[in-house]
Amino acid sequence: MHTFEFIRPKNPAQAIAVAAGAKTAQQGADIRFLAGGTTLIDLMKLNVETPAQLIDINRLGLDKIEATPDGGLKIGATVRNSDLAYHEKVRRDYSVLSQALLAGASAQLRNMATTAGNLLQRTRCVYFRDTAMACNKREPGTGCSAIGGSNRTLAILGASEHCIATNPSDMCVALATLEATIHVQGKNGSRAVPIGDFHLLPGNTPQRETVLEPGDLVTHVTLPPPVAGSRQVYLKLRDRASYEFALASAAVVLSRAPGKVTRARIALGGVGTKPWRSPEAESVLVGQPANDATFRKAAEAALRDAKPQSENAFKVELARRCLTHALEMATTG
């Protein structure tokens, strides 16, 4: 691991002032915020991340979960995944988020991993994690070893000829269906970014994964008021029953009136280069009867643009069945 300077700021403003001196806030940043450490320290051990300065944001008071005046929820950047998953209001009103969090990692890691850290979770693509291999995300311009390589777990939606790395987060998939807002404080003040705009497609700059600029600190995430009467499901399919990243996952927030679906929020995980909201599936569902035929049509719409790689054609049908099954779970019992 490369040497670094460890910085304990007294407040968010100080943390932002130091971080604003970074050349980039994206891959290879020379200054990094340190929260739970579960991704960053792992990647530093692999020399994939080599920051010269680390700013510890764990003691800045960003660890609270609070009700908002409009009836929603404010989740601090350093709220641990386990605290969020087991929070009474999250379990009751935003259960898709609780389910997604508890489907991720292990109990120990969930005690460490944070809300903002999970938003910025890095891909598990083996070529990204191995500095001996070509990877446009880690080292722009070197090529993509995953295309034509070991790509069984990689993306079938949102990929480019430069990068096919999967976004591994479960939490972000749930946040997409809950239409969360990411609150960022930077050197020029604060701004609110809808979750759908926060992550970027790889295009020809896969090293840029989010809209964050040097000095930008994610301070908290807000959720709108819960949708009364909605049914929420997170279904995750993987190679093991637990403690494994998704091959395909589906988050569903569904409201019904007698005979038809009135509102649907659908997102997929494990298949996209970013958390994959599917407005296509949502528009198929709304106004239609909640039955298997509708669900299958929605799943087909969600995967219409899927482009499998050499080893992962199975994920197209797996993702369809995952979403279909999640919709069944949300409408039965």
Partner 1 sequence: MSERKSEEPCAVGAHTSTVSRRSFLVTAGTAGIVGAVDAAEVMGQSQYADPPGTVDRRGTVAVVLRINGKEHRLRVDPRTTLLDCLRETVALTGTKKGCDHGQCGACTVHVNGRRVNSCLSFAVMHDGDSITTVEGLGTPAAQHPMQAAFVACDAYQCGYCTSGQIMSAVALLKEPCGPNDADVKELMSGNICRCGAYQNIVAAIQQVRRTA
| Residues binding partner 1 (CB under 8 A) | 1, 3-6, 8, 34, 36-38, 41-42, 45, 52, 54, 56, 58, 82, 86, 105-109, 111-112, 241-243
Between residues 124 and 152, which has the closer beta carbon with respect to partner 1? 124
Closer by beta carbon to partner 1, 101 or else 266: 101
Q: How far is the CB of 38 from partner 1 (least distance, A)?
A: 5
Q: Considering the complex, what minimum distance in angstroms separates the CB of residue 241 from partner 1?
A: 8
d(CA 183, CA 74) in angstroms, rounded, equals 10
Q: How many CB atoms lie within 10 A of CB 177?
A: 29
Q: Are 268 and 315 in contact (CB under 8 A)?
A: no
Q: Which of 190, 223, 212 is nearest to 12 (CA)?
A: 190
| Least distance between partner 1 and beta carbon 34 (Å) | 7
Q: Choose between 86 and 297: whose C-beta lies nearer to partner 1.
A: 86
**At its nearest, how many Å lie between partner 1 and the CB of residue 240?**
8
CB distance 172 to 188 below 8 Å = no
State which residue, 243 or 314, has the beta carbon closest to partner 1. Answer: 243
| Minimum CB distance to partner 1 smaller for 6 or for 70 | 6
Query: What is the 3-class SS of 180-209, one letter each residue?
Result: CEEEEEECCEEEEEEHHHHECCCCCCCCCC
Q: Tell me the closest approach of the beta carbon of residue 92 to partner 1, in angstroms.
A: 14
- CA dist 324 → 157, 259, 318 (Å): 18, 18, 10
Task: Kindly list the strands in the beta sheet with 276-277, ordered across the sheet, starting from the edge strand earlier in the chain.
Answer: 231-237, 248-257, 260-269, 276-277
